[in-house]
Structure 1
Amino acid sequence: MKVVILLTDRCVGSMAMSLIDGLITLNYCHLKAGGERPLFEWVTASMDGKAVTPFNGMTLMPDCSIHQAFADTRTPLDEQLWVVPSIYDAISRQSKIVDALARLQPMVDVVADHYQRGGRVASCCTGSFLLAAAGLFDHCPALMHWRSELNFRQLFPRVRVDTRSVLADYGRIVCTTGGAQTTYQLVLHLAEKVGSRDLALTGAKMMQVDRFPTPPTAFSATDDDKPHNDDLVRLAQARFRESLHDPVNMELAAQQLNISSRQFKRRFQQATGVSPLKYLQKERLKRACQLLENSRLTSARIAFDVGYQDESNFRRLFKRELGMTMEKYRDQFGFQPGSQPAPASTHVADVQALS
């Protein structure tokens, strides 16, 4: 398989380099196992073939331009995979993303042409913005880092988003989520797809990368609220966070804010992207994660402290939403034995200031 790695200014350069390192490792493992020739070859390409400067400031010199890569017909299309770059600006202000996509429109057009003539494409993290701009997500969800979800939804409201999966293969489109290991997960997936399961396992061991990594939902569980300008909804959010242990009546919550229940649900959904009940559930899970990270409380006590009388029900909810058990989460993110747990942050807003 030939992998064409696209480069651009302000891309995440480390992802391109780690992708190449991973492919080198797979070729080594394949040859050591008796393979006659390397499974992968690669080439890097920028829009004009000139050097690019990733966001880390280190200059990268590509092998060719995207038009040269497009014109190269020596490798059949079904054996080519074009990997679009991750855009660092996608976690910044939306205006920066709009400017970046406008600047990258020539690359978007060539990627779209490559796909339309039968080629394969892949995105790492916020590379999904480029594939969405190319119109390639009409029938499948886009994967990306959870910090980029809000910006993506605002720019591409008709495209479904998946921030729960590590990787998705839609046939001629492959997407990976964000983070330090995202390119290695793509590499291991290609190892199994082009080579074998044994090659993927061998490569994972060689690179010391988890073949089945922690679900992205575990990393985003304690993320802060998304910003918005609806003071009434902000007040409701603060009150929810202050009363996680207590039963919440949404009708009463709306009355206390002098608004109808229907208007309350509509405004809350519009401002936060989720319903009031879903938000409350998220905050209870967030508080449980903080307690698992910073205390020695039992799971039963944690479930009770966040408003669940039935520990088993909460355990099922936790595993369903975060993709791991409470014990696994504590092992992954909790304090190490012998260390002093830190006070768990409650992240409670000043309700009086909002009232």
Structure 2
Amino acid sequence: MTHLVAVLALDGVIAFELGIPARIFGGARDPAGRPLYRVATCTLDGGPVATSADFRIAVDHGPELLERADTVVVPASADSSPEAVDAAFTPALAAALARIRPGTRLMSICTGSFLLAAAGLLDGRPATTHWRYTARFARLFPQVRLDPDVLYTDDGDVLTSGGVAAGVDLCLHVVRRDHGSAVANAVARNCLVPPWREGGQKQYVEAPSPPAATGQGTSAVRAWALEHLDRPLALKQLADRAGMSVRTFTRRFREETGSSPGQWITVQRAERARQLLERTDLSIDQVARESGFGTAASLRLQLRGRLDVAPSAYRRTFRADPGVRRTS
């Protein structure tokens, strides 16, 4: 059975956030091109609802959809004031949320977390919301373990995200968690968004393919470096390959990539390590050598600093068997 993602659209829903689950989950495919998720939208009564923009949306489902969902997503509505939250948390919403089966994965995008919190579904759980509303959230829901400084939180079956683009990050994170990086990266490339920004709000953009070796600038050197990440890559060696002085090479490299050569190489090595952890059975020591970190201790330090996770834990979390279609 294809994993069913139910998106609950409430009155005043923000159209951008409403469309994120369909765009991300709806674009996930297995190697044969079959969809890995089915995304459906519902309202509290199956009727149209107003959006925060100048149009209304009509849906095909009422709250009964929530009874069958494997994942339920609550996107943001325009108003998160205490009065608006009280007004939105009607008996009809409480009854709809009560239809959700135990163990169903719950997700909120932006201020959708206010409604999950109002329902008591975030009590004792880590959660986040849009940075503009974190102080208000903390006052309203002191029983929630609010983390105001992250893009998203993942507490297993309950996940929350900050505003707008962080909802994209969260959905990609879930696809990666369910089906591995290859599937998530393909979705991200189709959407022209970074495949990976970890929840601690440290942007982490992987390079799915080497840069084109144009013979100009530093692209040819970067392509060569990606093929030799397991070797020492000294700055002078890279500059010599580009036929530039170290100073000129460093300046051109930063203009083209936005980072220094050393920073870029470290990011690429971390990405190589992540791929090896997800896709191979190499030991942690072998992954460290193949990715250029040299030792398992160095690899652990890098992943801890970037992703706040140990290599073995990362492998357990993100490695997925492409032949298994998960439903939860």
Could you say which TM-score interval applies, normalised by the shorter chain?
0.5 to 0.7
**1:275 match:** none
Number of the residue aligned with 1:107: 93
Q: Is the 8 A contact 1:124 1:183 kept in 2?
A: yes
d(CA) in 1 for partners of 2:176 and 2:200? 22
- Asked if 2 retains the 8 angstrom alpha-carbon contact of 1:163 and 1:217, the reply is no
Per the alignment, do residues 108 and 162 of structure 1 end up closer, same or farther by CA in structure 2, a change over 3 Å counting? farther
Displacement of 1:109 after TM fit? 3.6
Say yes or no: does 1:135 pair with 2:131. Answer: no
Q: Please say if 1:97 is aligned against 2:85.
A: yes
Aligned match for 1:196, one of 152, 158, 180: 180
Match of 1:160 in 2: 145
Number of equivalences: 202
Contact 1:192/1:199 (CA < 8 Å) preserved in 2? yes
Contact conserved, 1:112 with 1:134, CA < 8 A, in 2?
no
Q: How does 1:328-347 map to 2 (within 5 A)?
A: none
The 3-state SS of whatever aligns with 1:122 is strand
Alpha-carbon distance in structure 2 between the residues aligned to 1:70 and 1:95: 26
Q: Show the 5 A alignment for 1:175-186.
A: 175-179=160-164, 181-186=165-170
Whose helix proportion is higher, 1 or 2? 1
Q: Give, in angstroms, the shift of residue 71 of structure 1.
A: 4.5
Aligned 8 A contact 2:85 2:115 in 1: no
Shift of 1:113: 4.3
The share of aligned pairs that are identical, in percent, is 27
Unaligned runs of 5+ in 2: 203-305, 307-328
Aligned mates of 1:106, 1:150 — CA distance in 2: 28
Gaps in structure 1 of 5+ consecutive residues? 219-322, 324-355
CA shift at 1:2, angstroms? 0.7
Structure 1 position 21, deviation (Å):
1.9
**Partner in structure 1 of residue 65 of structure 2:** 69
Report deviation, 1:178.
1.1
Shift of 1:215: 7.4
**Letter matched to residue 23 of structure 2:** D
> Which structure exhibits the higher relative contact order, with contacts defined as CA atoms closer than 8 Å and separated by 6 or more residues?
2
- For 1:21, the equivalent position in structure 2 comes to 23
TM-score, normalized by length of structure 1?
A: 0.52
User: 2:201 & 2:153 partners in 1: Cα distance?
Assistant: 15
2:196 pairs with one of 198, 209, 212: 212
Determine the structure 2 residue equivalent to 1:315.
none
Q: Is the 8 A contact 1:108 1:131 kept in 2?
A: no
TM-superposed deviation, 1:60: 0.9
Aligned partner of residue 124 in structure 2, secondary structure: coil
After superposition, the Cα gap between the structure-2 partners of 1:166 and 1:193, relative to the gap in structure 1 and judged at 3 Å, is: same
- SS of the aligned residue for 2:122 comes to coil
What is aligned with 2:38?
Answer: 41
TM-score by length of 2: 0.56
| CA–CA separation in structure 2 for the residues paired with 1:215 and 1:175 | 10
Q: Please list the CA deviations of residues 84-103 of structure 1 after superposition, one character each: whole Å capped at 9, or x if unmatched.
A: 1212101xx432333233x4
Is 1:120 paired with 2:120? Answer: no
Q: CA shift at 1:131, angstroms?
A: 1.0
Change beyond 3 A, Cα 1:125–1:113: same
Provide Cα deviations, 1:238-273, integer angstroms capped at 9, x if missing partner: xxxxxxxxxxxxxxxxxxxxxxxxxxxxxxxxxxxx
Root-mean-square deviation over aligned CA pairs? 2.5
